[in-house]
Amino acid sequence: MAKGHKYLKRLKSEKMKTKLKAKKAKHLPKDLNIMDPSFKIKTIVIREQLKQHDKKNLISSYIKKLLSKFPYHKLGKIGNFPSSIKNKKRQQNFTMENSYDCCLEYNLGICQIYAWFTSLENDDKMMSKLNKNYCTSIIKYLNEKLKNWSDIDNIMLSQLTKLLRTLFLKASKIWYKNHLDLSETLQLVINACCNQPKREIELQLFSVISEIMLDHTLQELHRENVFKKFISTLPSLLLKSKIHENTIQIINKIVLRYRNWIQKELLTNYKNIIENAKKIEIIGSEDHKQSRLMIHNLFYFLDTEIFY
């Protein structure tokens, strides 16, 4: 009887340990634990753990291992692509290069992780020289990738947008505070958004830029000349043959917030925009009449007339 009681007690203890491990695993940050096991990097430290340790020493130790050999380089042959990706590429009907960057996802992930760590900085002290060197290395790598982004890289578009959101929306304030310039990166994102023939990357990057435009706390980014110039060109989207419903909604919000930057372009193209609103194809609209009225009402501040 005593033996049976001890066995049940031990069994219950083992079950509790299993539940505890499962519970801890659920609290890992989403989208951050992406490292390949071959890199031999420790599990990412979560925010709750940072409160219980010497945060700066813990982060410094982790980052040193993470970025000691960054960026990682390894080229693979096109034949090594998973069959699902190769089939997708055939459907997109373009000629692939002879090799691709196997480490692109990992390198973009490392950039995102580091940007996330820097966003945790709450004091006004300058970053150490070591951290600044890491920031410079990441900016250089990201800018180079944005300049040379190709169709074959679009399979990593989701990881790229996660990085850009973390960098611009969460970390940019502390980077600017430490005199780290993101203007070139912002310019390259805008260029990629406007010049890419693929609709998928255009929508993804425009979504990131829109979040920057509508976040009133990002004054440092808003002061960049490239940002102001991009805002002023938004009315030109209303002259195209197609436009997404979300784009019209965003332009309406932008007109309210950045009227002085966008008014000149609206005035110049007033008649053409009104005329084009009658025939422009509006993608994703559930009520085309209402969507076209939204375009007309962009000019309410010019003639104080709102259309219904």
The domain in which residue 121 lies consists of: 25-180
User: What is the pLDDT, as a whole number, of residue 78?
Assistant: 45
Name the one residue in this structure whose structure tokens are 């290069």.
97
User: What is the pLDDT, as a whole number, of residue 124?
Assistant: 45
Look at the chain and report how many structural domains it folds into: 1
pTM of the model: 0.71
Query: Domain for residue 116, yes or no?
Result: yes
Query: Domain for residue 260, yes or no?
Result: no
User: What is the pLDDT, as a whole number, of residue 9?
Assistant: 59
Query: Domain for residue 230, yes or no?
Result: no
Helices (H) and strands (E) in the chain, counts: 17, 4
Query: Domain for residue 111, yes or no?
Result: yes
Query: Domain for residue 19, yes or no?
Result: no
DSSP code string of 238-303: GGSSEEEHHHHHHHHHHHHHSHHHHHHHHHHTHHHHHHHTTT-EEET-S-HHHHHHHHHGGGHHHH
Whether residue 241 contacts residue 280, with contact meaning beta carbons closer than 8 Å, is answered with yes
CB neighbours (10 Å) of residue 7?
A: 10
Query: Domain for residue 242, yes or no?
Result: no
The residue ranges of the chain whose pLDDT is under 50 are: 20-43, 77-86, 88-98, 124, 126, 305-308
Query: Domain for residue 298, yes or no?
Result: no
Query: Domain for residue 296, yes or no?
Result: no
